[in-house]
Structure 1
């Protein structure tokens, strides 16, 4: 995301000066009681109480009924008040754009979608204009629920490598014409808030980790759908790499795992990629060849992971065998990843994960055969928790974590305070 100006304490109206540190700790869950906040900040009890009171009076936090054991008298827990702010998020896909409005705790308020004609190239400006108009419509349709809620940020999930720091797409990618386009700058003309962009698989990874597996500090999420990709959590942080492509396992050469099989060309132009052997589009290709009627020229047109799963659900033995073979190829590639990253858990998600053990057992078998016991003996390989709109929730978490990060929280407080006093920002 683009660098932002430093906000001085004097820029905040009286009452919220220096409260950002306290707010950031509460929002991230690192410290949620007065004793914890004192210990984390080194501030006196009086100072912590003063800043908590200012945040509470502003309607940003509230004292919940939960308590935290401290060795003495239980301490009450402070939490973000959901309705004080909201985020707008979008997940850009090839055939549709999902839009959502969520509150300050990433609870869904409303959703909509834009159906796209894949044959029409709207380009970055046309697409972002559609999203901005959709955001306006979402806010208007839920204005009663929003009340005085402040827009905190915009979050985007994109099917491309993303330069997170500057919110720009690294290219080339499926988003033709987006390379180095100033996404945040475009939204600045409509919404004067921070804009956070992330690769769609990374957004899903963030959601799975933060919501379903928060205790695993080192985790790999693998999306196995029409394409294959992964996201990496290392020591609770999303690992992006130098150009946003960390975890792009779909284009690792997997031909070594299939001895005797002729090299297969991937849609990226290279041969032997994992995607060319195990992704939904590749399994659909192989399934089409194997289905009756191929010789007569009337074989069904199978193209996606959903097509493969429809055949699998209909108990097609060829689909079952292809999914098992794909699982073995995925497991062989993951074995190398495990040796490098040593995760505690690997989560398999995406459309093909619905095949469950047919896909997971070959993955586990390959990992067991190829990894040293020290790396795999306590490793958990499981199916992702069912999650609709995981990219949307991930984009919301991305935006909220950015807003409440220590480097940016004071700016958010300044905007909030000015809005609350009627000053437009």
Structure 2
């Protein structure tokens, strides 16, 4: 994974970076710096800088990194971000499978576990599994729960991000309005952030591989079809956390196909994993899931290959509208169907480039996910990291430490 981008120094008097939390952002890139180098970048007085360094060192967020080469006299000390100071718990819960991981404060995975888990079992059962396995991972690497900076969780349905509660999730019976964040917070006593799984996949994929792209559309093609939208570098959740629900946009060629939502012609009813498996079964081919369809195509099965190519074209019809509306510079396709690679992507590219405006596609890239396993884990971790290491959060931690020591 790439490290955090360099902090941009504000202009004018604000450029003095008066807060320790602002100064800390400079050091999050993992590069060791001396006091003199920090003074040159920030414009802070030596005594002010020393006070900021002392406060951050006391928190454990920065530490010594040896000595720089001396130009005469005592070699100057260097300081560096201490990414191992605390850990983050990250969880990705899908319809039938879940993963949990422990990462450091730079998003590096220290331990992970995955297993089968049915989301329809209900929130208490599923979240108990998450909590128990997170505790097992912490014990396995010798990290106490007191070192958990926060917990990030992705769920396969709409989420009201600021409360951490699912909102009318279609495949999650018993989850509507459940206080997911509160349930986990009661277990670990730390910050808990919850979001839609496709949103965190978009965040994780972009941070790891596409930091140069400020406008990215991440498409998850699996049991359902959804998108995470990043515009001008910011994740777009929409007014109610329902943005990116591509699966229920109508595709003209499917007007006679009934979707589980009650409408006809939805993309999910035509191109999702279950829809493709059902299509093959009408041809007498035993395919239980979208994964089975991908596996059959990999062995050269003609019907599976044709189904995936048509699914790509159907997705392309919807994505062409997204391209004209959002003008992303890259579309990343993930989820279980993305394992089909060009058998799926060729159909998407064919339709998107044909149906979108030339200006919107002049520099557009349509790529397979580079992190098919870890995108959601990285995204859940990154969501927490950016929250707990923000200038405001660091300042708050410094104030709390001062009060405790008073």
Q: So what's the TM-score if we normalise by structure 2?
A: 0.84
**2:111 counterpart of 1:110:** yes
After superposition, the Cα gap between the structure-2 partners of 1:321 and 1:20, relative to the gap in structure 1 and judged at 3 Å, is same
Tell me if 1:170 matches 2:161.
no
Query: Which of the residues 220, 233, 238 maps onto 2:235?
Result: 238
Confirm or deny that 1:310 pairs with 2:295.
yes
- Secondary structure at 1:189's aligned position in 2? helix
Aligned to 2:249: 252
- Structure 2 CA distance for aligned equivalents of residues 360 and 32 of structure 1: 45
- Residue number in structure 2 paired with 1:7: none
Change (3 A) 1:267 1:32: farther
Match runs of 1:277-296 below 5 Å: 277-291=270-284
**Conserved in 1, the CA contact under 8 Å of 2:334 and 2:372?**
no
Residue 45 of structure 1 deviates from its aligned partner by 5.0
Q: How many angstroms apart in 2 are the aligned matches of 1:44 and 1:348?
A: 49
Further displaced range: 390-399 or 131-140: 131-140
Displacement, 1:135? 2.2
User: 1:100–1:108: 8 Å Cα contact kept in structure 2?
Assistant: yes
What are the equivalent positions in structure 2 for 1:388-403 lying under 5 Å apart? 388-403=373-388
Distance of 2:313 and 2:338 partners within structure 1: 14
* Aligned equivalent of 1:6: none
Residue 369 in structure 1 maps to residue 369 in structure 2: no
What SS does the aligned partner of 2:139 have? helix
- Mean Cα deviation higher: 278-287 or 386-395: 386-395
Once residues 42 and 178 of structure 2 are traced to their aligned partners in structure 1, the CA distance between those partners, rounded to angstroms, is 39
2:264 is aligned to: 271
Cα pair distance change 1:284/1:24, threshold 3 Å: same
Per-residue deviation, 1:115: 3.8
Asked if 1:207 is matched to 2:200, the reply is no
Distance 1:85 1:222 in 2: 32
Q: Pick which of 81-90 and 207-216 moved more.
A: 81-90
Gapped regions of structure 2 (runs ≥ 5): 1-17, 69-75
Aligned positions of 1:4-403 closer than 5 A:
18-27=19-28, 43-56=44-57, 58-62=59-63, 79-113=80-114, 115-116=116-117, 121-143=120-142, 146=143, 150-255=147-252, 258=253, 263-291=256-284, 300=286, 302-403=287-388
Q: Structure 1, residues 121-156: CA drift from partner, whole Å, max 9, x if none?
A: 54223332332222222222221xx37972100110
Query: How far off is 1:338 after superposition?
Result: 0.9
How many residue pairs get aligned? The number is 382
2:72: which partner in 1?
none
Q: What residue in structure 2 maps to residue 13 of structure 1?
A: none
Q: 1:98 to 1:54 in 2, by over 3 A?
A: same
By how many angstroms is 1:340 displaced?
1.0
Cα distance, 1:191 vs structure 2: 1.6
Q: Secondary structure at the match of 1:242?
A: coil
Q: Distance in 2 between matches of 1:33 and 1:174?
A: 53
Residue 288 of structure 1: CA displacement? Answer: 1.1
> Aligned partners of 1:161, 1:369: CA distance in 2, in Å?
31
- Partner residue of 2:11? none
Question: What secondary structure sits across from 2:176 in the alignment?
Answer: coil
Cα displacement (A) at 1:406 = 3.1
Cα RMSD between the aligned structures? 3.2
Give the match's secondary structure for 1:84. Answer: coil
